[in-house]
């Protein structure tokens, strides 16, 4: 846990703590660019120095349940594979259900994409939990499609082809327009048109679930999610 030869001792550990805090709270991996923008200037760190800090933070995790890992889109702190079986237990007990908060968030991304987290929160009137976005990203239904050019450059989210596959749609146009969603009768009619009446297309869903199991970074929704 303790560093040996870092000159200004307190700041040093502090920088790594700030990095740790950011990585543990973020929705997904943070790129070196993002991290540099978030903390580089404040601490007077070059990109290279930042990389060194990250390496040092990674060392700190040597004996932990987590590890700091660089993936394609940046750095993230993740549970080590040897603990994933335990984590799986979290989601085994109860058949996980998608919470209303998750569904609303997904629906807003579908209909209002590209949309920022803040804009979702504006409509929903409540904050969107980091894990909801993570689940949607993990599930492969949603992805970052860019950044809004306002201070902070918040990520913009949009749907993926996987979303269409999993929901058995050929294109988003098949979904009823908003006014029809509002009217319950029209909504039912639209669902009937899609063959998605009261009974969900179970077979299709199962097929998809199996198909995507091998490689999708598939994090199930833990039971708590249904509480929100």
Residues 71-110 touching another protein, rule: CB under 8 A, are 76-81, 83-85, 87-92, 95-98, 100-101, 103-104, 106-108, 110
User: What is the 8-class DSSP label of residue 224?
Assistant: G
**What SS3 state is found at 213?**
coil
**211 contact choice in another protein, its own copies, none (CB below 5 to 8 Å, kind-dependent):** another protein
What DSSP string runs through 147-172? E-SSTT--EEEEE-HHHHHHTT-S-G
Q: Does 62 bind another protein (CB under 8 A)?
A: no
Tokens 């903390």 belong to residue: 39
Of positions 62, 72, 199, 227, contacts another protein by CB under 8 A? 199
Element (H, E) at 23: helix 9-25
34: number of Cβ within 10 Å? 19
Q: Which residues, 80 to 99, sit near its own copies by CB under 8 A?
A: 80, 82-83, 85-87, 89-96
Applying CB under 8 A, the site for its own copies has a residue count of 64
Of positions 12, 13, 69, 164, contacts its own copies by CB under 8 A? 13
Q: Which residues, 163 to 182, sit near another protein by CB under 8 A?
A: 165-169, 171-173, 175-179, 181-182
Pairing verdict, β 74-79 and 115-116 = unpaired
Burial category of 139 from C-beta neighbours within 10 Å (exposed 0-12, middle 13-18, buried 19 and up): buried
**13 contact choice in another protein, its own copies, none (CB below 5 to 8 Å, kind-dependent):** its own copies
Q: Distance between CA atoms of 140 and 85, rounded to whole angstroms?
A: 21
Binding site residues, its own copies, CB under 8 A: 1-3, 13, 17-18, 20-22, 24-28, 37-39, 63-66, 77, 79-80, 82-83, 85-87, 89-96, 116-119, 121, 125-127, 129, 131, 135, 138-140, 150-154, 162, 221-222, 224-228
């Amino acid at each position: 846990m303790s560093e040996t030869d870092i000159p200004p001792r307190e700041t040093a550990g502090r920088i790594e703590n700030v990095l740790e805090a950011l990585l543990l709270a973020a929705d997904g991996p943070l790129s070196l660019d993002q991290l540099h923008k978030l903390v580089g200037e404040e601490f007077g760190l070059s990109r290279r120095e930042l990389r060194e800090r990250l390496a040092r933070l990674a060392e700190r995790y040597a004996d932990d349940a987590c590890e700091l890992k660089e993936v394609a889109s940046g750095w993230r702190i993740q549970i080590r594979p040897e603990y994933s079986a335990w984590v799986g237990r979290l989601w085994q007990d109860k058949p996980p259900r998608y919470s209303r908060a998750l569904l609303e968030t997904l629906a807003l991304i579908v209909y209002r994409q590209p949309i920022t987290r803040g804009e979702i929160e504006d409509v929903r009137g409540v904050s969107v939990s980091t894990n909801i976005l993570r689940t949607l990203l993990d599930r492969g239904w949603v992805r970052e499609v860019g950044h809004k050019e306002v201070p902070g450059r918040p990520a913009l989210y949009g749907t993926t082809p996987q979303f269409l596959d999993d929901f058995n749609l050929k294109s988003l146009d098949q979904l009823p327009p908003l006014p029809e969603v509002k009217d319950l009768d029209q909504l039912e009619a639209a669902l009937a048109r899609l063959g998605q009446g009261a009974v969900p297309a179970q077979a299709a869903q199962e097929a998809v679930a199996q198909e995507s199991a091998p490689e999708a970074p598939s994090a199930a929704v833990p039971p708590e999610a249904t509480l929100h």
